[in-house]
Amino acid sequence: MKLPLEAYILILTFNCVYLAKCKRESRIADYYNTEEVFNDYDDSIYPEDEEDFDHIDLPEDCKILQYYVLRRKCNDLYPEDVAENYRDPFVSAHDQYAVFHFTDDGVENYFLTFHHSALFHCDEIEVRGVVNFVCTNASGTQHHIKMRSGYMQCLSYKSDMVDELLAACSSDMNKSSNFTALHYANVLSSLRSDCNVHAMIHRWLLLGLAALVISFEY
């Protein structure tokens, strides 16, 4: 009679261990997204062969980025009023952001990157993927940057939010064009949510119920 209950307690224990592990991993993920570790570039994993760079993880509407060298314009802190008015779920007021630009067909287009990352040390970047970049720093040294997380989305329309971010960053920029890339360094590309505590509690309750029912049957 006690067996199902014992099994239940065992499963509960496993779940607790899993939850603790999951929480720890997300803390580690947060840690890795800090500036220091971002600067820990890993050049070695890149093959010499350009073909091996894949652009495939760029969202379809961002693929134009791969054909340009983007130049950094400015860095700033995310303004409170933009955070309040537009409520971008991935950025908070005072987060750092940087603006890069490229000219396509005489039109100036912008690439905004949010959350501090290695990109902030680049004067120029080439976008090789959502987490892959080639960076040229102020002294002209080129290296590859591979980030541990990243999410990118591209707008195909003029955006007031982007205009406000551009204006806040530098007075020397035109309004947004019909293409703007938004890159978030600290967001996992899969947008994997945190450890799902609710789903887990649900499962515990169901299992507990099953254990009780089985206990009564004996």
Ligand X SMILES: *[C@@H]1O[C@H](CO)[C@@H](O)[C@H](O)[C@H]1NC(C)=O
- Residues in CB range of 97: below 8 A, 6 or more apart: 75, 76, 77, 78, 91, 112, 113, 114, 115, 165, 169
Helix (H, G, I), strand (E, B) or coil at 151: strand
Stretch touching ligand X by CB under 6 A, among 13-21, 44-52, 102-110, 205-213: 102-110
* Spatial strand order in the sheet of 132-136: 142-146, 132-136, 124-127, 69-77, 96-104, 107-114, 180-184, 151-155
How far apart CA 81 and CA 63 sit, in angstroms, is: 31
Question: Which of 34, 92, 170, 174 is in the footprint of ligand X by CB under 6 A?
Answer: 174
Using CB under 6 A as the binding rule, whether residue 171 contacts ligand X is answered as no
Q: Please report, as residue ranges, which positions from 40 to 99 form the binding site for ligand X (by CB under 6 A).
A: none
Using CB under 6 A as the binding rule, whether residue 156 contacts ligand X is answered as yes
> What DSSP element (H or E) covers 133?
strand 132-136
Burial of 136: CB neighbours in 10 Å, binned 0-12, 13-18, 19+: middle
Q: Please report, as residue ranges, which positions from 116 to 155 form the binding site for ligand X (by CB under 6 A).
A: 137-139, 141
Using CB under 6 A as the binding rule, whether residue 34 contacts ligand X is answered as no
CB contact at 8 A, 75 and 111: no
Using CB under 6 A as the binding rule, whether residue 107 contacts ligand X is answered as yes
Q: Between residues 144 and 148, which has the closer beta carbon with respect to ligand X?
A: 144
Minimum distance, C-beta of residue 21 to ligand X, in the bound complex (Å): 36
Using CB under 6 A as the binding rule, whether residue 39 contacts ligand X is answered as no
Minimum distance, C-beta of residue 200 to ligand X, in the bound complex (Å): 42
Minimum distance, C-beta of residue 179 to ligand X, in the bound complex (Å): 5
Minimum distance, C-beta of residue 163 to ligand X, in the bound complex (Å): 13
Site for ligand X, rule CB under 6 A? 103, 106-108, 137-139, 141, 156, 174, 178-179
